[in-house]
Amino acid sequence: MGKRSSRSQSQLLSTLTKKQKKHLRDFGEEHPFYDRVSSKEAKPQICQLSESSDTSNSESEAESEPEQVSGYHKLLATLKNVSEEDEEEEEEEEEEEEEEEALAEAEMNSEDADSDVSVEEETAAASAGMRESNVLPADPKEKDGDETPGTSQQESPEEFTDTKHESLFSLETNFLEEESGGNCSLKGSQDPFLHHVNKELKEKEIQAVATNPKTTHELKWPTLGQLVFSSKFQKLETFKPPKDLDLKALYLQKPLESTWTKTNSQFLSGPQKSSSPFTPLQKELFLIMNSYQDLFYPERTALKNGEEIRHVYCLHAINHVLKANAQVLGNNSRRRSRKLGVGDDDDFRDQGLTRPKVLIVVPFREAALRVVQLFISLLEGDSKKKIIVSNKKRFNGEYGSDPEERPPNLKRPEDYEAVFVGNIDDHFRIGVAILQRSIRLYAPFYSSDILIASPLGLRTIIGAEGEKKRDFDFLSSIELLIIDQADIYLMQNWEHVLHLMNHMNLLPLDSHGVDFSRVRMWSLNNWSKYYRQTLLFGALQDAQINSVFNKYCVNVQGQVAVRNVPLTGSISHVLVQLPHVFQRMEAENLASVIDARFNFFVNKILPQYRDAVMSHTLIYVPSYFDFVRLRNYFKKEDLNFTHICEYTQKSAISRARHFFLHGEKQFLLLTERFHFYKRYTIKGIRNLIFYELPTYPHFYSEVCNMLRAATRGEEAAWTCTVLYSKYDAQRLAAVVGVERAAQMLQSKKNVHLFITGER
């Protein structure tokens, strides 16, 4: 009997998928979804239900759901944070006691490295699959129309949508309250909001956009520096910032005139506090935002001005929403007070095809938390009467973090601590509805005014072509798109950003209950993208970010890009005495750069480092695809190497660092994304190769400063080699400075030498 049962168990295990085996290992039982149904038919049982049973059950479930979900989510967060804390503490101990651990690590069989490669590839594939093609499962609630598409989460226990306050925040059934200040701010013909949304384009102008050359004009502003104004429409509007800025001249909707000064007071000091409610940077940024021109600002850093910029774009976003909603509610009141004649409906065109007007894209939940807190502060201000914020407790629980979660003894750079603060989950999306002095969190997407989401959170609901369960109609009438911290998306998955931009302002597939008599004509004509303002903030000038701004930003008001050139590069922050050899490779076009770089490295650079004398060579690789290509080549050539990437397991990282430190492995391949997310100090480097210039310029000096001399005079044998091409002009200028970069790119010589740390 025992043999038969063990045989049946082994047969059962052989039929399980990896996912089922993992669930069995974690929970000790199979998932209920895979429960086997008995072949014998059970006798049907019929029970009578009371008429009110459906409603009572649904109500009780709705009431109990927040409690269950919150507890479940907190439990998951606790488990995740504990594991992360342990991992970081282990890493710190490892760095302090690496010599002692090395002896134990050396006993590991080097053949395990090959198995780590397969595990690493499986992890990378699983991660890519999750981020690229993960689409939410169908929710049975949607069939009955109870749940709006765009509100479901990836995991059913985390699903939550506020359905209790639908009528309270409905734009169709509410009217403008007299005590809210009326519609006075919208009566002014000089209001930039009205000037923008009421601007009428002609068919000829739209057709000419595709062929019109882009007209540009450069101006220098006191704080922002060099600005490039551009437009594909015939009229290009440029302006200079005034010395004094009056809040009343900005046409802020009530109560923002009174609440902004208090909300922004932390950035104002001394005489500036009384003279202007904005910092010099905020003043110039808001002037551009308030003109409804597209803006690209590539100097936003978490340490220096991140919060300052977040405050000003939140002011602009909520000002836009309050004005748009006030216009709708005011027209509701006027429609109610008088009978409409034939053709009178055209006087009340004040909406888009769907309600969401503002989309704010941020990388982590912590950023979303700060945005919502700013919205509350801007609506509340000094008022003794608190505004109504629905589901605030749940929101703080799911988007907040415990300050004690991260151990205080971590040694990481300041910029790392500023970026990875709070809840750094990158899969989320939430709808926010605002009506006068009330905020509704977790509003269904089609009942929301503002959507706050990460690229991954949007990607999983937009889906891919051919998938049944996908939705992007909520993006059809976005009038203000804010993409904050764009540089971080380069480290996450830039494809998600491109996928989002390709689905912006498309005609919706469903009407979603819209009153077409209230829809603006330019929205019906599918011209919404020409009226959408895009605000793009990042920490660096990058070709991929520039491409998005140039390709997808076609606002009728024009575009403004900040184009300051770096006078001094990050190479000036290298403290160690090190010769830097920059080798230029030739490529016929941009498409051939990848192959040209690989061939140049394999044929010209690598042979110089094959000798055993050139051991302890770190190869820094920004692109994961280049990393995989190099790793496969090194394996094929049977080179003595090890590797670390963002998917490498903890044990494999420890083993690779030990082998490299003690010279048991001659080469170490290291990806840029691993350095971005971990910032480990790699010990034992003597020779450094930058396969490509880093995305972040300060990574260059950080990696170079990892070279530490164990004995006196050892630095005399150190080397640093950098590969670049003419298509790397922006990254090169950020490392060596714009003047040196221009000389290097125009020079007939392909090799240039810099020496740092000279005494």
Kindly tell me if the per-residue pLDDT of 277 is higher than 70: yes
The residue out of 562, 587, 610 marking a domain boundary is 562
Kindly tell me if the per-residue pLDDT of 680 is higher than 90: yes
In a domain, 150, yes or no: no
Query: Considering the chain, what percentage of its residues have pLDDT values greater than 70?
Result: 71
Q: Are residues 509 and 599 in the same domain?
A: no
Tell which residue, 610, 607, 570, 586, has the closest CA to residue 754: 570
Q: What are the tens digits of pLDDT across the range 69-126?
A: 454 444 445 444 444 444 444 454 454 444 444 434 444 444 454 455 555 665 565 5
pLDDT confidence of residue 98: 46
User: How confident is the model over 656-662, as a mean pLDDT?
Assistant: 95
User: How confident is the model over 659-664, as a mean pLDDT?
Assistant: 94
133 band by pLDDT with thresholds 50, 70 and 90: very low
The residue out of 508, 534, 562 marking a domain boundary is 562
CA distance 212 to 196: 21
Among 270-284, 406-420, 547-561, where is mean pLDDT lowest?
Answer: 270-284
Tokens (6 digits) for 105: 């690590």
249 band by pLDDT with thresholds 50, 70 and 90: confident
Q: Is 429 helix (H, G, I), strand (E, B) or coil?
A: strand
- Structural domain containing residue 539: 160-404+414-562
In a domain, 29, yes or no: no
In a domain, 36, yes or no: no
Q: Are residues 245 and 169 in the same domain?
A: yes
pLDDT confidence of residue 65: 41
Q: Are residues 312 and 342 in the same domain?
A: yes
pLDDT confidence of residue 176: 61
pLDDT confidence of residue 753: 96
User: How confident is the model over 342-355, as a mean pLDDT?
Assistant: 76
The answer, as to whether pTM is greater than 0.85, is no
In a domain, 9, yes or no: no
Tell which residue, 228, 237, 322, has the closest CA to residue 541: 228
Kindly tell me if the per-residue pLDDT of 138 is higher than 90: no
713 band by pLDDT with thresholds 50, 70 and 90: low
Q: Are residues 579 and 551 in the same domain?
A: no
Tell which residue, 519, 514, 518, has the closest CA to residue 531: 519
Give the orientation angle of helix 543-552 with respect to helix 494-502, to 10 degrees: 0
Q: What are the tens digits of pLDDT across the range 492-533?
A: 999 999 999 999 999 999 888 888 988 999 999 999 999 999
143 band by pLDDT with thresholds 50, 70 and 90: very low
Mean of all residue pLDDT scores within the chain = 81
**How long a stretch of residues is the chain?**
759
Q: Residue 610 carries which side chain, given as an amino acid letter? A: R
CATH of the domain at 468: 3.40.50.300
Domain count, the chain: 2
Going by their DSSP bridges, the two strands 559-562 and 578-584 should be labelled as unpaired
Q: Are residues 574 and 553 in the same domain?
A: no
Q: Residue 439 carries which side chain, given as an amino acid letter? A: I
In a domain, 715, yes or no: yes
285 band by pLDDT with thresholds 50, 70 and 90: very high
Q: Are residues 626 and 733 in the same domain?
A: yes
The residue out of 516, 540, 562 marking a domain boundary is 562
In a domain, 737, yes or no: yes
**What are the CA-CA distances from residue 350 to residues 432, 471, 519, 522 (Å)?**
20, 24, 6, 11
pLDDT confidence of residue 56: 37
Q: Are residues 354 and 289 in the same domain?
A: yes
pLDDT confidence of residue 154: 39
Considering 83-92, 153-162, 238-247, 640-649, the range whose residues carry the highest mean pLDDT is 640-649
Q: What are the tens digits of pLDDT across the range 3-27?
A: 555 555 555 556 666 666 665 666 5
Q: Are residues 467 and 607 in the same domain?
A: no
> If you search the block for the tokens 């651990």, which residue do you land on?
101
In a domain, 13, yes or no: no
Kindly tell me if the per-residue pLDDT of 722 is higher than 80: yes
166 band by pLDDT with thresholds 50, 70 and 90: low
Look at the alpha carbons of 627, 632, 637, 643 in this order and tell me if their dihedral is positive or negative: positive
Among 201-215, 376-390, 416-430, 491-505, where is mean pLDDT lowest?
Answer: 376-390
| Ordered strands of the 667-671 beta sheet | 641-644, 667-671, 617-621, 687-690, 719-724, 578-584, 751-756
Q: Are residues 555 and 579 in the same domain?
A: no
Q: Are residues 509 and 641 in the same domain?
A: no
Q: Are residues 576 and 555 in the same domain?
A: no
Kindly tell me if the per-residue pLDDT of 385 is higher than 70: yes
Q: What are the tens digits of pLDDT across the range 443-484?
A: 999 999 999 999 999 999 999 888 888 899 999 999 999 999
Q: Are residues 630 and 702 in the same domain?
A: yes
In a domain, 39, yes or no: no
276 band by pLDDT with thresholds 50, 70 and 90: confident
